Amino acid sequence: MTIEQLLIQAAVRLKAAESATPRLDAEVLLGHVLGRDRTWLYTWSDRKVEDAALTKFEALLDARIAGEPIAYLIGEREFWGLRLQTHAASLIPRPDTECLVEAALFRATEKHGRALDLGTGSGAIALAFASERRGWQVTGVDRIADALALAQANAERLDILNVEFIESDWFSALADQRFELILANPPYLAPDDPHLEQGDVRFEPRSALVAAENGLADLRHLIVTAGTHLEPQGWLLLEHGWTQGEAVGEALCEAGYTEVATLADLAGQPRVSLGRYAY
């Protein structure tokens, strides 16, 4: 069977399984198996696929049809132009989160400073920021050891040296450290949110997705506690669900933050709320 024939058949099966991007999924999986990019697949579409590669591809295809995320199947995802390794111990980096990085970079106006990424997971946010602000020292924390190992591996592979990763449940291991910027993409889905039974989210760690108080518990906790770790006039930036912007903004104002604002994601939905520590 040629590459093109295989891709056509795979795309048909994926479409029947309600994949939103059946041809793309097929190309990414086959490219991963063959160690080639999608351009190569088109250039050499008439080449035959060897049996060993075919067997590996079929196994990945079956897993994808069952709903497993592409990022977990091939072990990587691009974020902020960085190729990040992924596995099931952490959330899959998503394009919407890039607006959190953008907002932080816009406020990192000094040549040097300290930034903290809470619940770092794969290290996506910390590494994206650190790659753009080499004069800053960036710390990423997570309470899951496997996630920290993944983040460290990503930093080493990308040769990003101005970042460190520490095991910590939010601020618990940070003592009296203070930062000019604190960023977080905390759990913000309610326990009964229907999205938990849809798409890639079904396979991602619930502990990184779900929070009490209709998804607001961790957001509120960080707003109340972050002040003891922010430098005066430092910024707290939080990603949240598209319906939570008003509630998060109110919580920031109630906690005494100034210059409170909510920013939209790539789809124009409220996604990041931020405030400046006034003390």
Pairing state of beta strands 82-85 and 136-142? unpaired
- Statement: 90-276 belongs to CATH 3.40.50.150: yes
CA distances from 227 to 86, 121, 218, 247, 256 (A): 32, 23, 15, 18, 9
Q: Where are the domains of the chain?
A: 3-67, 90-276
User: What class is the 3-67 domain?
Assistant: mainly alpha
Q: Residue 241: what pLDDT?
A: 96
Residue-wise pLDDT for 8-32, tens only, equals 999 999 999 999 999 999 999 999 9
CA distances from 221 to 54, 180, 186, 243, 249 (A): 49, 19, 10, 18, 14
Q: Residue 1: what pLDDT?
A: 87
Q: What is the dihedral of CA 248, 222, 150, 175, to 10 degrees?
A: 160
Residues whose CB is less than 8 angstroms from the CB of residue 169 and which lie 6 or more positions away in sequence, other chains included: 143
Q: Residue 278: what pLDDT?
A: 84
Q: Minimal CA–CA distance to 231: which of 278, 192, 274? A: 278
Over the chain (279 residues), the average pLDDT of each successive run of 10 is 96 94 96 96 96 96 96 96 95 96 97 98 98 98 96 98 98 96 98 92 94 97 97 97 97 97 94 93
